[in-house]
Amino acid sequence: MRDIAYLELVCPAGTPAALRTAIDAGADTVYCGFRDCTNARNYPGLNFDAKELREGVAYAHARGRWVIVAINTFPRAGDIGPWHRAIDTAAECGADAVILADIGLLDYAMRKHPNLRRHLSVQAAASNPLSIDFYRETFGISRVVLPRVLEVDEVATLISRMKVEAEVFAFGSVGTMVEGRCTLSSYITGRSPSSDGVCAPAEFVHYREDGAFMESCLGDVVTNRYAKNENAAYPTPCKCRLVTNDNASYLFEEPVGLNAVSILPQLKAAGVTALKIEGRQRSRAYVGQVVTAFRAVLDALARGETMPQAAADLHAIAEGGRETLSALKKGWK
């Protein structure tokens, strides 16, 4: 392993330009995906082909950084080819690790490319010692990306009982915390986030005015209704506003951003290895701003200094203009 001064900073790269931006801003590691259904951010204009990945790996390695490839969707029955090719290509391009969720893909990567590090995706939802030990003993995983359902104390307890590295989300989308909601996007659009890698595809998104209000729609389904002075979020089913008992509210998840910068010392004390910044679909300007701020904070903490002003810079770019520690600090307990 490399010598990481404090916590490893794992940052998103939706494009080759974003990869270079993240590296230049101070990312220890970047993660990216191929331009197909094998990764969970399969959107037009994003992701990498083999040539771009090879160039990105060379750029990162020349600066002592890592590149990880997310192959974190689940193959369709009878159509394993794209996923096997993605693992092969990642290995051939010199990637430092692959992020996998499907046990068949973990088995393939272990047998075909035993020297390629295998990280267990959050999509696998492994959140207890027995499940993590299963993946380590059976498929030789080196790291688990923990689901966003654990409090800091729970993270610490889990890490004390497992024998692999732990990566936790520190900034970006809160993500779903109730199983099954991705099925809603499949039901509405016919395209699966789990196998096609796309939630709320852009071609299904549209907005329309209704008197003094604006409605956001996914296909024929109205997901939200906004007053003129409200910010309109992207119409993903998990962040829709639902009417119950004549009251419209965010029952599942509000448009709010995760920001764990205030508890980084607690995460380090818990034994966390790496911090994951979410946002491969974000612009390179966003990536540069977030990575620069986190780099300044982590460097200051490594020197034993107090939290720098850069921490405050993150507040303004949280999703929906609001931020939360989410399950890391379960205020509802």
Q: Are 150 and 157 in contact (CB under 8 A)?
A: no
Backbone angles phi, psi at 43, to 5 degrees: -115, 150
- The per-type count for the chain, helices as H runs and strands as E runs, is 10, 15
Task: Give the whole-angstrom CA distance, residue 308 versus residue 318.
Answer: 18
Q: What are phi and psi of 88, to 5 degrees?
A: -60, -45
What would the mean pLDDT of 252-281 be, rounded to a whole number? 91
Range with lowest mean pLDDT among 84-88, 92-96, 100-104, 312-316: 312-316
The CB density around residue 133, as the number of other CB atoms within 10 Å, is: 15
The answer to whether the CB of 279 falls within 8 A of the CB of 287 is yes
pLDDT digits (tens, 9 = 90+) for 118-175: 999 999 989 999 999 999 999 999 999 999 889 999 999 999 999 999 999 999 987 6
Domains of the chain, start order: 8-174+256-329 (3.20.20.70), 182-249 (no CATH)
Q: Are 31 and 99 in contact (CB under 8 A)?
A: yes
Cβ atoms 252, 147 nearer than 8 A: no
Asked whether 283 and 268 are in contact (CB, 8 A), the reply is: no
Distances from the Cα of 35 to the Cαs of 70, 100, 265, in angstroms?
11, 16, 36
